[in-house]
Chain A
Amino acid sequence: MNVLIPLVAVGGLFIVGFLGAVLGMGWIFGVAFPYLAVAFFLGGLSYRVIGWANSPVPFRIPTTCGQQKSLPWIKRQRIENPHSTLEVIGRMALEVLCFRSLLRNTKVEMVDGKRLVYATDLSLWIGAMAMHWSFLIILIRHLRFFTNPVPYFATFTEKLDGFMEIGLPVFFVTTVVFVIAVAYLLYRRLAISQVRYISLLGDYFPLFLLLGIGVSGFFLRHLTKTDVAAVKELALSWTHFAPVVPETISPLFFGHLFLVSVLLAYFPFSKLAHMAGVFLSPTRNLANTNREIRHINPWNYPVKVHTYEEYEDELREKMKTAGIPVERQ
């Protein structure tokens, strides 16, 4: 059910998107929904980030993965156990850009029924890197539709991405990588029994959504005649806040666009919000300066303790007999 429902839902949404090409509906699917989706995305994500940020970080709890800073002659590990803001930025950059922690991944195996071994397992790291990076590059490529003239870094990215120069229009490496990577992530979620066991509907839905977006995008570029000029006219008109919906836009494009709209709107309220959340993780984004700089807990409050005076009152005679110094005789 956790797999079937989201699969059917994404399929259904895609078909619903086709309605955009129906006369008169273009404004709803081509203007209202995209604007709403962006509003949901920006508003929702801000809401989430502000929500997290509103909860303080009462304690400094970095997970240290390397040697601390202590004695000057002991070599410390600046990235794995950062001691300054710059080093924290380094750690976070590695985490966000290279998925440092996933790179550590191992898989446990029992050898001969008695020996545990831990083999390096990069499959998840490769899948995740491939998916996220190709997604980012695809987004950058799409800037072509929203800008006139197209900024250099977008055309440059496009050029790099199409370096194989196969096909007309040229195939972009990232399109293929993206679809394969999403498919792999979906496959591992189903194939690895433990991962399947923990997976929720909300874990499959975004994968199907991304898959739908990727595949429909591929079709739009390579297998159907899309009126690119019309699509660009629409996209540019969004940015000018003077939307125009050309009549030559295909139903397939509206399907693609609607899935993107759904993704944007769904994003902040789902696990996808990890994109923003990772930056706030207190086990990663704090320097291990605990004993050097006092960390302040904004809600620190006095607690009931057993004072020394109470303690000595209860135990004074025993302490005196044992010759242990006391405050009051």
Chain B
Amino acid sequence: MAKPDEPEFYEKEDLLKVDWKPPTKGWMDVPVDIRPGTYIYPGKAKNLKILDLPNARDWAVTDQDWKLPADWKTTILDGMADRLSKYRSFKLFMDVCVRCGACADKCHFFIGSGDPKNMPVLRAELLRSIYRKDFTALGKVFGKLAGGRELTEDVIKEWFYYFYQCTECRRCSVFCPYGIDTAEITMMGRELLGLLGLYVNWVIEPVANCFMVGNHLGIQPHGLKDTLEFMADDIEEATGIRVDIPINKKGAEILFVTPSGDFVAEPGIFTCMSYMLLFHELGLDYTWSTYASDGGNFGLFTSHETLKRLNAKIYTEAKRLGVKWILGGECGHMWRVIHQYMDTMTGPADFLEVPKSPMTGTVFEHARSTKMIHLMEFTADLIRNNKLKLDPSRNDHITVTFHDSCNPARAMGIFEEPRYVIRSVCNNFVEMPENTIREQTFCCGGGAGLGTDENMEMRLRGGMPRGNAVRYVQEQHGVNQMAAMCAIDRATLTTVADYWAPGVKVTGISELVANAMIFTGEKKRTENLRLEPIPGVAEDDEVEAPSDE
């Protein structure tokens, strides 16, 4: 018998029978229903202690008593007042919603679950109702008539449940006439919960790891070296090339930072191997860092302060190592942090230089302050300037589609670079339906720290819109791979694809590049980086040498 944390536990037919009609009972009177498969285990005391976070204790979400501190109510209200005065987004988004409902069916969790409290507007109302009651004139006088409600422990439980059922993907904010961004609401909600020591372990343990040893997985420096060397062995087996692994190398030109998800588990490691191959072929003077061994930042899913505490290490390390600029790997929320927070929080990076490609001479003016560019910007520039020898036919057995990851899409707008790269290395590229890509892309259902197995039901439900779109191109165009430049995608989309569109594999874009690249001194390529035989290129076949035009 499968358990609630396994996909097999859920029948597709059941999940598809989603009912979007809300109940007759008003939402304020519907208590939160916490059932296995839809919530995440609480943060363990030891992790909170590492981070000096308040009210560290062990507890369970299913407990009646969540062991809140005695003055929890004041803490929450003071915390709200503080944040209302610090974030215009929060204050404004509490005030200007007209409840037009445009956002309602834009959330993947609402589409997949039908739970009205997963409508972005209602998720925000969970907080707004308290705001109205305690912070607005009308709410203070008219109470419930003005849409206010009393702050109780049940409200806190409801917040915990629903603010950890939002992946901060920002899709709703694309459709909102006032640009109300539920990510901002959820971030505030999670910060407030954090004041009471309410975290999920899937987020706070990686944060504690990252704080202490530099990456979410808690890989220590020697372990990281082993991991990369292990990958180098596999690279050698596939290509016959031995790549160097520069670690904490002082005076390197470039610091390379990627999400630690690329260090473990398939298919992330293939993306990582591809980075190493690309840099080797280019002869790039770069270095890994063990201290800044994660660009990913689960602090984003915790609080702005934690976000900064983890992010600080990137510039610190760039300075210590004396690099000129920073290159960032394929990640989603990492790029939200790099693009929208890093420079403001931990800059200015005046000790670095404006990124300049040593191969093409291109100066990346758009990153002149942050001094960090995206690997896809770097790679697109290389391809455009004919610096890579490519044989896209090596990917001919692949029909690939591209999943825009939420953060690079809606917090950055990096749409064309990855597409240009994919088209350059794959002959068969198919887009998913237009309402499911680019700025309207659907989340994998496991972002913002929700990608854990105990949350399987919500992940499968939240992944339904994406899975459905993949299934569509699979049936229509024979798509068998889905590229995504996000480490969380590479981990969680795999589950979503296996469930909703079995047969479609998830890959990083760099992996497609490396498989199509002709490396100097490579052996005859019969296997791809996954060490799978490349169809049509058997070991003994005569293979025409690819031309170098």
List the interface of chain A (C-beta within 8 A of B): 5, 48, 51-71, 73-77, 80-81, 95, 99, 101-102, 104-108, 110, 113-116, 118, 124, 128, 192-195, 197-203, 269-271, 273-274, 277-278, 280-284, 288, 290-297, 299-300, 303-308, 311-312, 314-315, 318-319, 321-325, 327
A193 contacts which chain B residues (CB < 8 A)? 21-22
Q: Is the CB of A292 within 8 A of B181?
A: no
Q: Is the CB of B384 within 8 A of A290?
A: no
Of chain A, the residue at the smallest CB distance from B16 is A114
Of chain A, the residue at the smallest CB distance from B376 is A70
B417 contacts which chain A residues (CB < 8 A)? 70-71, 74
Majority secondary structure, A binding face: loop
Least CB distance from A295 to B in Å reads: 5
A95 contacts which chain B residues (CB < 8 A)? 177, 179
Choose, from B72-80, B407-415, B489-497, the stretch at the interface.
B407-415
A118 to B18, CA, bound (A): 16
**Given pairs A58-B304, A71-B364, A307-B316, 9 additional interface contacts (CB within 8 A):** A106-B435, A124-B102, A193-B22, A197-B26, A271-B95, A284-B178, A299-B86, A303-B309, A318-B221
Least CB distance from B280 to A in Å reads: 19
Q: Knowing A55-B85, A64-B409 are in contact, say whether A291-B366 is a contact too (CB < 8 A).
A: yes
A104 to B174, CA, bound (A): 8
Q: Knowing A67-B413, A71-B417, A303-B305 are in contact, say whether A113-B92 is a contact too (CB < 8 A).
A: no
A292 contacts which chain B residues (CB < 8 A)? 365-370
Q: Is the CB of B84 within 8 A of A55?
A: yes
Q: Is the CB of A58 within 8 A of B344?
A: yes
For chain B, which range describes its interface: under 10, 10 to 19, 20 to 34, or 35 or more residues? Answer: 35 or more
- What are 26 A-B residue pairs whose CB atoms fall within 8 Å in the complex? A51-B91, A56-B88, A57-B89, A61-B181, A64-B409, A64-B410, A64-B413, A65-B439, A66-B413, A70-B414, A71-B380, A76-B413, A108-B20, A118-B435, A124-B100, A194-B116, A198-B27, A201-B145, A277-B96, A278-B179, A282-B179, A283-B173, A292-B366, A303-B312, A315-B213, A322-B225
B52 contacts which chain A residues (CB < 8 A)? 304
Q: Is the CB of B412 within 8 A of A101?
A: no
Least CB distance from B540 to A in Å reads: 40
Q: Is the CB of B181 within 8 A of A283?
A: yes
Q: Knowing A65-B439, A71-B362, A113-B16 are in contact, say whether A288-B413 is a contact too (CB < 8 A).
A: yes
A192 to B104, CA, bound (A): 11
Most buried by B among A5, A48, A51, A322: A322
B435 contacts which chain A residues (CB < 8 A)? 106, 118
* CB contacts between A and B, total, < 8 Å: 310
A63 to B93, CA, bound (A): 14
Q: Is the CB of B99 within 8 A of A198?
A: yes
- Which residues, 327 to 363 on B, are CB-close (under 8 Å) to A? 338-341, 343-345, 347-348, 362
Which residue of A57, A75, A273, A324 contacts B96 across the interface (Cβ within 8 Å)? Answer: A273
In the complex, whether B220 has a CB less than 8 A from a CB of chain A is: yes
In the complex, whether B214 has a CB less than 8 A from a CB of chain A is: yes
Q: Which 7 A-B pairs have the closest CB atoms?
A: A322-B222, A68-B413, A64-B413, A277-B96, A283-B179, A118-B435, A291-B370
A284 to B92, CA, bound (A): 12
Q: Knowing A61-B184, A65-B439, A270-B138 are in contact, say whether A110-B16 is a contact too (CB < 8 A).
A: yes
Q: Is the CB of A300 within 8 A of B111?
A: no
Choose, from B243-251, B271-279, B391-399, B449-457, the stretch at the interface.
B243-251
Q: Is the CB of A291 within 8 A of B339?
A: yes
Of chain A, the residue at the smallest CB distance from B88 is A55
Q: Is the CB of B87 within 8 A of A324?
A: no
- Which residues, 296 to 315 on B, are CB-close (under 8 Å) to A? 304-305, 308-309, 312-313
A295 to B342, CA, bound (A): 10
Q: Is the CB of A318 within 8 A of B222?
A: yes
B99 contacts which chain A residues (CB < 8 A)? 195, 198-200, 203, 271
B21 contacts which chain A residues (CB < 8 A)? 193-194
A81 to B89, CA, bound (A): 19
A63 to B187, CA, bound (A): 16
A267 to B33, CA, bound (A): 37
Q: Is the CB of A71 within 8 A of B225?
A: no
Q: Knowing A65-B410, A292-B366 are in contact, say whether A306-B145 is a contact too (CB < 8 A).
A: no
Of chain A, the residue at the smallest CB distance from B27 is A197
B369 contacts which chain A residues (CB < 8 A)? 291-294
Of chain B, the residue at the smallest CB distance from A206 is B98
In the complex, whether B211 has a CB less than 8 A from a CB of chain A is: yes
A258 to B250, CA, bound (A): 75
Of chain B, the residue at the smallest CB distance from A99 is B177
Most buried by B among A5, A63, A128: A63
A295 contacts which chain B residues (CB < 8 A)? 343-344
Which residue of B174, B221, B312 contacts A324 across the interface (Cβ within 8 Å)? Answer: B221
Least CB distance from A305 to B in Å reads: 5
Least CB distance from A173 to B in Å reads: 24
Q: Knowing A70-B414, A114-B16, A291-B343 are in contact, say whether A274-B174 is a contact too (CB < 8 A).
A: no
A46 to B313, CA, bound (A): 43
Of chain A, the residue at the smallest CB distance from B138 is A269
A291 to B325, CA, bound (A): 13
Choose, from B58-66, B231-239, B464-472, B508-516, the stretch at the interface.
B464-472
A107 to B175, CA, bound (A): 12
Most buried by B among A64, A74, A76, A305: A64
Q: Is the CB of A63 within 8 A of B86?
A: no
A212 to B36, CA, bound (A): 50
Of chain A, the residue at the smallest CB distance from B225 is A322
Of chain B, the residue at the smallest CB distance from A107 is B105
Q: Is the CB of B95 within 8 A of A48?
A: yes
B20 contacts which chain A residues (CB < 8 A)? 108, 194
Of chain A, the residue at the smallest CB distance from B104 is A194
A295 to B76, CA, bound (A): 29
Binary CB contact string for chain B from 189 to 223 against chain A (1 if under 8 A, 0 otherwise): 00000000000000000000001111000001110
Least CB distance from A216 to B in Å reads: 24
A325 to B468, CA, bound (A): 49
A58 to B414, CA, bound (A): 23
A294 to B352, CA, bound (A): 14
Of chain A, the residue at the smallest CB distance from B336 is A61
Of chain B, the residue at the smallest CB distance from A195 is B101
